[in-house]
């Protein structure tokens, strides 16, 4: 049995959840998110919480129960509070700038890299080296942050590159050929 799937999803005030067959729509102060749930999963709406149940007792259905409970909970939290991811740019001359929905990164290449932010993602750059990404969709936010990080991954010798704020880069020792 999925321990995560058994837990009810609390629905805070100001958030409405509508279930139409296998289609779930969550509406809140920050926006609307929608998702289609698999056939093995049944959603039961109570007063101020949502329950995720399975139609049969197979192992596969239980796995999907936990997955969809997490996904729907992220939808509820997203339209209520939103999600935020902070990224840092390290390196001499490395900087970022946002104009509209285009993130311009100068990260050691001969030309600046222009990254088009997907719809639903907002970016704010502080001090040219700190990127704050915000969205109501946690899945899209993580995917976008991963794509931005892949433009210039942090290297292990000097730590130059784009990294998450909570990420720790394991440093390596450089050459020691000249020391004898």
State the average pLDDT for the chain.
90
Per-residue pLDDT, 178: 57
The angle, 0 to 180 degrees and rounded to 10, between the axes of the packed helices 59-80 and 138-151 is 80
Mean pLDDT of 109-136: 94
Domains of the chain: 3-80 (3.90.930.12), 83-164 (3.90.930.12)
Cβ(87)–Cβ(165) below 8 Å: yes
Which of 107, 105, 103 has the alpha carbon at shortest distance from 90? 107
Which of 160, 153, 165 has the alpha carbon at shortest distance from 126? 165
Per-residue pLDDT, 116: 95
């Amino acid at each position: 049995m999925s321990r995560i799937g058994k837990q009810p999803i609390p629905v805070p005030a100001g958030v409405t959840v509508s279930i139409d067959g296998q289609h779930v729509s969550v509406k809140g102060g920050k926006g609307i998110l929608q998702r289609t749930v698999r056939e093995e999963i049944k959603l039961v709406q109570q007063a101020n919480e949502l329950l995720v149940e399975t139609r049969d007792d197979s192992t596969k259905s239980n796995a999907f129960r936990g997955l969809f409970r997490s996904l729907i909970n992220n939808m509820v939290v997203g339209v209520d509070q939103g999600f935020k991811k902070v990224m840092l740019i390290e390196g001499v001359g490395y900087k970022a700038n946002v104009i509209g929905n285009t993130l311009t990164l100068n990260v050691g290449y001969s030309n600046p890299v222009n990254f088009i932010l997907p719809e639903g993602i907002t970016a704010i750059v502080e001090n040219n080296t700190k990127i704050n990404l915000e969205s109501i969709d946690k899945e899209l936010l993580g995917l976008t942050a991963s794509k931005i990080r892949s433009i210039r991954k942090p290297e292990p010798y000097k730590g130059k590159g784009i990294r998450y704020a909570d990420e720790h880069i394991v440093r390596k020792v450089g050459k020691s050929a000249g020391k004898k």
